[in-house]
Structure 1
Amino acid sequence: MPSACLLALDAATETLHLAVWRDGVVQARALAGGAQASMNLLPAIASLVDAAGARMADIDAIGYGRGPGAFTGLRTACAIAQGLAIGLDRPLVALDTLALVAESAHRQAGFERVWTLLDARMGEAYAACWQRIEGADGVVDWQLARDASDAVIAAPMLLRPDALRALVQAHPAALAGPGWTVHEAAASGLDLPVCPQALPDGEALAALAWRAHAARRWIDPALALPLYVRDKVAQTTAERAAERVDQPSAVSR
């Protein structure tokens, strides 16, 4: 395994996840996300790099969770990763947050084919279906799962619970991510294994950042962007009222 020092971060959920991968040894940390993320992120990165016995100048590449997820968190992770990469003159690797959840689910529950889900609020969820594969070089990675006709089942997308349920029924797989706790009705009665505690955590960040770096899937920091999926951040008053009528028992957050 080649020598390398990698920094990776994800702020797409309510928890800020950080990792430093240094020659196969992982230092990981989880902090409060949301409004506190931007204030705490740089000091936390410096502390974690120090805990790994490295300096910022030792970092070979930086990985960031591009989303989908909370808009503010995505912008924060992208901006911090971009600024550090430009300042250090290092490449970036963009990591799909839902693939990070798939990696976490594999580590916790052994899932190989999995629907990953994060709550998108407003009665919707971010979802994708993944398949764990081994390349010709022996490196194991995640790709979007395909059906019998070799068509992608579900790239990261925004779905209502009824549409999500229909897709999962048509293409059954294990379920992972905290979104399944919020949208549990979408999987009710389907008898599929669930790992709701799978998160884009430090171990998953380190693993996917290393694979992307080893495969030289680098991007120019100037081209780094979040993956929003949704282009609307709030419901109108009429939409909120309609949802209360249509879903009187829906989980409120």
Structure 2
Amino acid sequence: MSSVLLALDASSSACSVALLRRDAGKQECISRFELTPRAHTRRLMPMVDEVLAEAGIAPSELDAVAYGRGPGSFTGLRIAAGAAQGLAFGLERPLLGVSTLEALALGAHRRYHFRYLVTALDARMGEIYVAAWHCADGVTTLLQEEAVIAPQALRLPAKETDWVGVGSGWTLWEQMPAQVQAGLTQTLENIEASAEDMVVLAARDLDAGLGRDPHEVQPVYLRNEVAWKKPA
């Protein structure tokens, strides 16, 4: 299937954009990735312009737009959602939201060939965003639903071995149960979600007919408004 997809992400301290062009069984990905805390608004759209220019693609040639829909930084998610929705509305193209936790899992699998991954992000206020995945041949399968929990409440899915922890949530390692610590072979706390992995997931979802009207695709915070308040 021939298509051109653009993905953007601002869900963490990183800011990234990727363009995936697929044609006749071949694909090319052009991407930008920068650690830009507090500069997402300033850098995101220029990065979009950069990848489009490098690819020689006009915005009108895009078939779909995607973005990291969360969980992650509230401010960053809104920045990416606003930019992606604006592009999709203006171009009259479908929009896809991609899980940041799934993108973390796919990225670690593609780069290091890990199979069983627990992706966790520091959610602040003494909690983590977390999910568990099995990855094989570039395909991710959800084993434990995405949730926001206290590190002390984390449990590993039964019957699997060789778990690897990925993401900033693992900086809270010392607060996690002994069963979790014993069940992991290693942790990679400094890996950030990237649009380069999100655009691959977005292509999968576009092929499955999951593209939506821009107004239908909203950020996923996992935490409701009440949880914004610190517990007494």
CA distance in 2, matches of 1:198, 1:171: 26
Of the candidates 110, 114, 126, which is equivalent to residue 111 of structure 1?
114
Equivalent AA in structure 2 for residue 9 of structure 1 = L
State the Cα deviation string for residues 6-59 of structure 1 (Å, max 9, x = none): 100111111112111112111111134443212222122111111122111111
For 2:211, the aligned partner's letter is: W
Distance 1:34 1:230 in 2: 22
User: Which SS does the other structure have where 2:145 is aligned?
Assistant: coil
Residue in structure 2 matched with residue 15 of structure 1 by the alignment: 14
> Aligned partners of 2:211 and 2:73: how far apart in 1?
24
Q: Deviations over 1:67-88 (max 9, x none)?
A: 0000011111111111100100
Return the offset for 1:125: 0.7
Task: Give how far 1:113 is off.
Answer: 2.3
Residue 64 of structure 2 is matched in structure 1 by 61
Contact 1:13 / 1:33 at 8 angstroms: preserved in 2?
Answer: no
Structure 1 vs Structure 2: percent identity of aligned residues?
34
CA root-mean-square deviation: 2.0
- Aligned partners of 2:128 and 2:169 also within 8 Å: yes
Query: 5 Å matches for 1:49-128?
Result: 49-128=52-131
Larger Rg: 1
The one-letter code of the counterpart of 1:168 is L
Matches within 5 A, 1:1-253: 2-23=1-22, 24-132=27-135, 140-145=138-143, 154-164=144-154, 167-168=155-156, 170=158, 173-180=163-170, 182-185=171-174, 186=176, 187-231=180-224, 232-235=227-230, 239=232
- 1:109-167 Cα offsets, whole Å, 9 max, x none, are 21222110111112211001112367xxxxx532311xxxxxxxx31111111101xx1
Per the alignment, residue 251 of structure 1 pairs with none
Amino acid at match of 2:228: V
Q: Size of the alignment, in residue pairs? A: 220
User: Does structure 1 retain, via aligned residues, the 8 Å contact 2:68–2:195?
Assistant: no
Conservation of the 8 A alpha-carbon contact between 2:40 and 2:79 = yes
CA distance in 2, matches of 1:65, 1:131: 20
1:34–1:197 Cα change, 3 Å: closer
Q: Is the 8 A contact 1:109 1:195 kept in 2?
A: no
Question: Which stretches in structure 1 are left out of the alignment for 5+ residues?
Answer: 135-139, 146-153, 240-253
Q: CA deviation at 1:197?
A: 3.9
Q: State the Cα distance separating 1:171 from its structure 2 match.
A: 6.2
Write the distance in 2 (CA, Å) between the matches of 1:197 and 1:13: 11
> Could you tell me how far apart the structure 1 residues matched to 2:57 and 2:74 are?
31
Q: Decide whether the 8 Å contact of 1:46 with 1:56 is kept in 2.
A: no
Amino acid at match of 2:59: M
Residues 188 and 108 of structure 1, relative CA distance in 2, 3 Å threshold: same
Q: Unaligned regions of 5+ residues in structure 2, if any? A: none
Matched-pair contact (CA < 8 Å) for 1:113–1:129: yes
TM-score normalized by the length of structure 1: 0.80
Q: Distance in 2 between matches of 1:202 and 1:72?
A: 17
1:191 & 1:206 partners in 2: Cα distance?
28
